[in-house]
Amino acid sequence: MLLHIPGVFSPDEVLRIREALEQAEWADGKVTAGYQSAKAKHNQQLPEGHALAKEIGAAMLERLWKNPLFMSAALPHKVFPPLVNCYTAGGSFDFHIDNAVRQPKGNAERVRTDLSATLFFSDPQDYDGGELEIQDTYGTQRVKLPAGDMVLYPGTSLHKVNAVIRGTRYASFFWTQSLVREDSQRALLFEMDGAIQQLTRDVPDHPSLIRLTGTYHNLLRRWVEV
Ligand code: NI
């Protein structure tokens, strides 16, 4: 399941983030790539643990933890702290699948990468190319969202970032280990939760709501790993 989560940051907030990123000192993106993907990766990244990356990452996660769409779709257990990257002057990242397990620097706890997320800090008109291409069960999706918006997609997907041939593309990305490992099960729960939320708004006193909500939790209990 591929999900667009709009407005994680407002246009004003994104502007301030971008101004800070324009002043930052960048490192080669290959430092966090595996052996194979280092050959495919041509971009720049704020080093892991960089103060600005930590500040942006903390603000992102605080927003997302209060975002009903993210919570319902990702059912997050833990995350790998967001990294910030920059593609410019022909920079690209060829097709790859992300490593299954990630260990944050200075942290013993590893994260299984069930879900990937990219939050865009540059507006689509500020650069050419730079689409995130994701191969999903329904074919290839090309994602290029307004600044402040985020896309969430299964960590199992083959994906790439097309070359940026004009301007600069700033973005942040992170991985989430979900309480529910399988994308298909998460997608069912997300659908059901959405339907229950809508019924709760439209017919709040309907007696079946309690049964449906109970069934949601009984399915979740069946599939959850904590
Ligand atoms: Ni990737």
Q: What is the pLDDT of residues 129-179, one digit of tens each?
A: 999 999 988 899 999 999 999 999 999 999 999 999 999 999 999 999 999
pLDDT of residue 129: 97
Residue 171 alpha carbon to ligand 1 centre in Å: 13
**Predicted confidence band at 28 (pLDDT cuts at 50, 70, 90)?**
confident
Q: How far is the CA of 115 from the centre of ligand 1 (A)?
A: 11
Find the 90 Cα to ligand 1 centroid distance in Å.
Answer: 17
Q: How far is the CA of 117 from the centre of ligand 1 (A)?
A: 10
19 CA distance to ligand 1 centroid (A)? 25
pLDDT of 167 reads 96
Using the mean position of ligand 1's atoms as its centre, give its distance from the Cα of residue 52 in Å: 21
Distance 218 CA to ligand 1 centre (A): 33
CA distances for 16 relative to 20, 49, 52, 192, angstroms: 6, 20, 12, 38
User: For residue 35, what are the CA distances in angstroms to 15, 31, 132, 175, 180?
Assistant: 35, 10, 21, 19, 29
CA of 143 to the centre of ligand 1 (A): 14
pLDDT tens, position by position, 181-212: 999 999 999 999 999 999 999 999 999 999 99
Q: By the 8 A CB rule, do 132 and 119 touch?
A: no
If you measure from the C-alpha of residue 125 to the centroid of ligand 1, how many angstroms do you get, rounded to a whole number? 23
Q: What's the CA-to-centroid distance between 97 and ligand 1, angstroms? A: 6
pLDDT bracket for residue 224 (50, 70, 90): very high
105 SS3 class: coil
Query: How far does residue 82's CA lie from ligand 1's centre (Å)?
Result: 13
Mean pLDDT for all residues in the chain:
94
Q: How many CA atoms lie within 13 A of 118 on its CB side?
A: 25
pLDDT band at 39 (very low <50, low <70, confident <90, very high): confident
Local confidence band at 89 (pLDDT 50, 70, 90 cut-offs): confident
Cα-to-centroid distance, 46 and ligand 1 (Å): 16
Could you tell me which of 154, 155, 134 has the C-alpha nearest to residue 145? 134
